[in-house]
C-alpha cells in the first residue's frame, strides 16, 4: 500500500504519505515534501482546495492548489504533482509527479481533510461564514466535510431525484440573497405526465445554497450537465481545463484571471456581469473572484472522449470565433 497514515505530530495532526509525497501540517501551513523538494501552502487555502478535489473526484483536467501543487485527472488514475505546470520547476527538472489510483489518492486526501479540519472551520463556506482553520488540533467538523455533492440524475426536484431546498430541509435563504423572490412556477401536467413535466425557481434554489465555489449537477441530458454554483470571494483552486466550459453569469459579478494552462502565462481577464456568457477555452487555467455572493451557471460537457480530442488537436480549444 502506497498510502499510510503514520504518526501524530506535536501539533496533534496526523502525517500522511501518498507515493513519495509526505504531507504534514502545523498551526498555519500544510507542508508537502517529495524526494527532491518541499513546499508549503497556508492551511486554510490548502483545505479549501483539498475538499473540492475530493468532492469533485479530481474534477475535469487539472486542479492547481496554487502555482506548484495539484492533481491531473486521468479518470481512473490521477497524477499528483509538484511543479508540473510551473516553468521554474520544469526548466530545471525539479518537478515531481506520482501517478496513482484515483481511489487511493482520494481516500488519503479525504482522511487528511478529516484529520486537519478543526472544529468551526468549514472549507466550503465563504470567509464571512466560517471560523478559523489555524492553531493546534482542536476537534473536528464532520458535518461540514461530509456533505454529499448534489448530482441530479435528470433534474432537481423530480421524483426520486435530488430534492429542492427549503427551510424545513435545512437550506435557509443565504444572507446575501435575501432579496431573491421565492415564488415557484405552477406546473399543470396532463394526467400520466406528472413525473415528467417539471419546473422550479432556479434563483430561489440557488439562493439557498450553503456552499461556495462548488458546482452541482442540477439537470443532466446525456453528457450535457447544468452545474450552477454560488460564488463568494475567490475560487480556492486554479482550474486547468481539459475541455471547453461555458459560463453564464446569473447575478452580480465575477472577475476571471485566465492564463495558459501549461505555463501560467497570463492570457486574459474577463469581467462577467449578470447576463454575460463566455466560453472558457480547453487550453487555459482560470481562477474566479466574486466580490459579492453571486450565481454562476457552469455548463459542462462530460463526454469522456473530449480530453483526447483536444490533446490531439482534433478539436480547436475555442468553440467560437468572432471574426
Indicate the residue among 84 and 280 with the shorter CB distance to Fe ion.
Answer: 280
* Nearest-angstrom CA–CA distance, 95 and 113: 24
Residues 266-305 within binding reach of ligand PHB (CB under 6 A): 296, 298
Please report where in the chains the cell 508549503 appears, as a residue: 40
* Nearest-angstrom CA–CA distance, 136 and 116: 10
Take residue 305 and report the three cell numbers written for it.
472522449
Q: Among all residues, whose Cβ is closest to Fe ion?
A: 239
The DSSP H or E segment spanning 16 is: strand 14-18
Q: Which does 213 bind (CB under 5 to 8 A by kind): Fe ion, ligand PHB, none?
A: ligand PHB
Decide if residue 261 touches ligand PHB (CB under 6 A).
no
Indicate the residue among 118 and 212 with the shorter CB distance to ligand PHB.
Answer: 212
Q: Which does 73 bind (CB under 5 to 8 A by kind): ligand PHB, Fe ion, none?
A: none
Which residues in this chain contact Fe ion in the complex, by CB under 5 A?
A: 239, 245
Least distance from ligand PHB to the Cβ atom of residue 281, Å: 12
Q: Of the ranges 8-16, 100-108, 129-137, 208-216, which one interacts with ligand PHB (CB under 6 A)?
A: 208-216
Cα atoms in the Cβ-side hemisphere of radius 13 Å centred on 267: 15
Indicate the residue among 130 and 230 with the shorter CB distance to Fe ion.
Answer: 230
Q: Which does 229 bind (CB under 5 to 8 A by kind): ligand PHB, Fe ion, none?
A: ligand PHB
Strand partners, 274: none
Indicate the residue among 162 and 229 with the shorter CB distance to Fe ion.
Answer: 229
Residue 218 near residue 226, CB atoms below 8 Å: yes
Judged by DSSP in three states, 104 sits in helix
Q: Which does 278 bind (CB under 5 to 8 A by kind): Fe ion, ligand PHB, none?
A: none
Least distance from Fe ion to the Cβ atom of residue 241, Å: 5
Residue 127 near residue 233, CB atoms below 8 Å: yes
Least distance from ligand PHB to the Cβ atom of residue 102, Å: 19
Q: Among all residues, whose Cβ is closest to ligand PHB?
A: 239
Characterize 248-269 residue by residue with b for buried, 16 or more Cβ atoms within 10 angstroms of its Cβ, and e for exposed. bbbbbbbebbbbebbebeebee
Least distance from ligand PHB to the Cβ atom of residue 226, Å: 13
Residue 156 near residue 162, CB atoms below 8 Å: yes
Residues 216-245 within binding reach of ligand PHB (CB under 6 A): 229, 231, 235, 239, 245
Opening angle at CA 285, ends 18 and 33, nearest 5: 25
Indicate the residue among 40 and 280 with the shorter CB distance to ligand PHB.
Answer: 280
Please report where in the chains the cell 445554497 appears, as a residue: 209
Q: Which does 285 bind (CB under 5 to 8 A by kind): ligand PHB, Fe ion, none?
A: none
Indicate the residue among 157 and 281 with the shorter CB distance to ligand PHB.
Answer: 281
Q: Which does 235 bind (CB under 5 to 8 A by kind): Fe ion, ligand PHB, none?
A: ligand PHB
Strand partners, 230: 295
Indicate the residue among 2 and 298 with the shorter CB distance to Fe ion.
Answer: 298
Indicate the residue among 53 and 245 with the shorter CB distance to ligand PHB.
Answer: 245
Least distance from ligand PHB to the Cβ atom of residue 182, Å: 23
Q: What is the DSSP string of 226-292?
A: EEEEEEEEE-SSEEE-SS-EEEEE-SSEEEEEEEETTT--EEEEEEEETT-EEEE-TTEEEEEEEEE
Q: Which positions lie near ligand PHB, rule CB under 6 A?
A: 213-215, 229, 231, 235, 239, 245, 296, 298
Amino acid at each position: 500500500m502506497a498510502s499510510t497514515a503514520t504518526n501524530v505530530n506535536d501539533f496533534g495532526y496526523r502525517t500522511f504519505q501518498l507515493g513519495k509525497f509526505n504531507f504534514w501540517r502545523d498551526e498555519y501551513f500544510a507542508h508537502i515534501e517529495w524526494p527532491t523538494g518541499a513546499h508549503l501552502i497556508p492551511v486554510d487555502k490548502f483545505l479549501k482546495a483539498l475538499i473540492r478535489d475530493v468532492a469533485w473526484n479530481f474534477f475535469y483536467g487539472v486542479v492547481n492548489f496554487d502555482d506548484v501543487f495539484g492533481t491531473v485527472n486521468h479518470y481512473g488514475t490521477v497524477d499528483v504533482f509538484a511543479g508540473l505546470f510551473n516553468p521554474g520547476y520544469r526548466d530545471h527538472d525539479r518537478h515531481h509527479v506520482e501517478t496513482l489510483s484515483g481511489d487511493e489518492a482520494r481516500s488519503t486526501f479525504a482522511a487528511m481533510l478529516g484529520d486537519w479540519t478543526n472544529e468551526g472551520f468549514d472549507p466550503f463556506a465563504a470567509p464571512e461564514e466560517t471560523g478559523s482553520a489555524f492553531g493546534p488540533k482542536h476537534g473536528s467538523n464532520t458535518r461540514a466535510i461530509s456533505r454529499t455533492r448534489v448530482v441530479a440524475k435528470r433534474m432537481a426536484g423530480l421524483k426520486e431525484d435530488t430534492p429542492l431546498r427549503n427551510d424545513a430541509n435545512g437550506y435557509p435563504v443565504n444572507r446575501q440573497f435575501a432579496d431573491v423572490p421565492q415564488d415557484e412556477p405552477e406546473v399543470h401536467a396532463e394526467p400520466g405526465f406528472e413525473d415528467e413535466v417539471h419546473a422550479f425557481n432556479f434563483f430561489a434554489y440557488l439562493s439557498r445554497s450553503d456552499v461556495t465555489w462548488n458546482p452541482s449537477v442540477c439537470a443532466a441530458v446525456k453528457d450535457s450537465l447544468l452545474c450552477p454554483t454560488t460564488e463568494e470571494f475567490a475560487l480556492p483552486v486554479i482550474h486547468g481545463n481539459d475541455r471547453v466550459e461555458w459560463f453564464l453569469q446569473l447575478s452580480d459579478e465575477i472577475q476571471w484571471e485566465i492564463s495558459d494552462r501549461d505555463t501560467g502565462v497570463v492570457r486574459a481577464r474577463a469581467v462577467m456581469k449578470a447576463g454575460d456568457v463566455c466560453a472558457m477555452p480547453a487550453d487555459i487555467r482560470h481562477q474566479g473572484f466574486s466580490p459579492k455572493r453571486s450565481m454562476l451557471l457552469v455548463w459542462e460537457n462530460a463526454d469522456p472522449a473530449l480530453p483526447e480530442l483536444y490533446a490531439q488537436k482534433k478539436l480547436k480549444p475555442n468553440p467560437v470565433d468572432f471574426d
